[in-house]
């Protein structure tokens, strides 16, 4: 009888004590994780800052102009000018080619209809 009473008192106590310790450990773990995530977040956002600045820097107009000039033989791009408006009709649309969707690059690509057509 006495043992049963003791058990009745102590088992819940031990159980609760265990549960409380467990929860507090879990909380501590979570706080630690949150802290490390925050550090990571800070580092990542710092990296992101640098990358976006770099992106803007690489895309600054004078650099793009220099690149357009340098690769003129491939790109054939010229500055916008009031005399250089085109007509929609003058755009060379695809002719004799098959347009396929390339899943890897996510682009529409024109391929010659037969392999012998290639230059």
Partner 1 sequence: MTRVFGQRVRNWRDRIKFWPRDASLRSWATRVADRQVFVSLGFLMLFLIVAVRVVEIGLTNPGSLQIHRDVPEQEFSRADIVDRNGEELAMTVSGYALYAHPHEMNGDEARRRVAIQLAALIDDIDPDRLAAALTSGRKFIWIKQRLTPEQKQDVHDLGEPGLHFGRRPVRVYPKGKLAAHILGGTTYGDAAVNSAVIVGNAGVEHHMDARLTAPGQSHQPLELSIDSRVQNVVAKYLARGKEEYQAQRASAVLMDVQTGEIHALVSLPDFDPNARADHQSSELFCDPVQGVFEFGSTFKIFAAVQAIELGHVTPDSMISNQSFRLGRYQIRSTERGDKMLTLRDVIAQSSNTGVAQLALNIGSAKQRNFLSQLGLLEKSSIEFTEAQNVGPLTPSRWAELETATISYGHGVAVTQVQLAAAYATLVNGGFRVTPTILKRTDMGPATDRVISEETSRVAVELLRAVVTDGTARYANIPEVAIGGKTGTADKQRPEGGYYRDKVLATFASVFPTDNPRYALVVTLDEGTSGDGSKWERSAGRTAVPVATVIIEKVAPLLGLDPNEQRIAARN
- Count of Cβ atoms closer than 10 Å to residue 119 Cβ: 3
* Nearest-5° Cα angle at 77, 68 to 62: 35
Q: CA-to-CA distance for 105 and 90, rounded, in angstroms?
A: 28
CB 108 within 8 A of CB 99: yes
Query: The tokens 């391929």 sit on which residue?
Result: 111
Query: The tokens 């043992």 sit on which residue?
Result: 3
Binder of partner 1 out of 74, 83, 90, 114 (CB under 8 A): 83
- Count of Cβ atoms closer than 10 Å to residue 111 Cβ: 13
Is 88 an interacting residue with respect to partner 1 (CB under 8 A)? no
- Closest approach, Cβ 73 to partner 1, in A, equals 22
Span 52-71, contacts to partner 1 by CB under 8 A: 52-53, 56-57, 60-62, 65
Binder of partner 1 out of 1, 88, 99, 107 (CB under 8 A): 1
- Closest approach, Cβ 49 to partner 1, in A, equals 4
Site residues for partner 1 per CB under 8 A: 1-2, 5, 8, 13, 16, 20, 23, 31, 34-35, 38-39, 42, 46, 49-50, 52-53, 56-57, 60-62, 65, 79-85
């Amino acid at each position: 009888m006495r043992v049963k009473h003791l058990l009745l008192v102590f088992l819940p106590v031990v159980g609760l004590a265990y549960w409380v310790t467990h929860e507090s450990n879990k909380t501590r773990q979570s706080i630690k994780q949150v802290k490390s995530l925050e550090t990571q977040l800070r580092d990542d956002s710092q990296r992101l800052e640098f990358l976006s600045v770099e992106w803007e820097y690489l895309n600054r107009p004078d650099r793009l102009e220099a690149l357009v000039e340098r690769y003129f033989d491939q790109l054939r791009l010229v500055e916008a000018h009031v005399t250089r408006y085109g007509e929609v009709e003058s755009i060379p649309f695809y002719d004799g080619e098959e347009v396929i969707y390339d899943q890897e690059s996510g682009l529409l690509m024109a391929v010659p209809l037969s392999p012998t057509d290639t230059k």
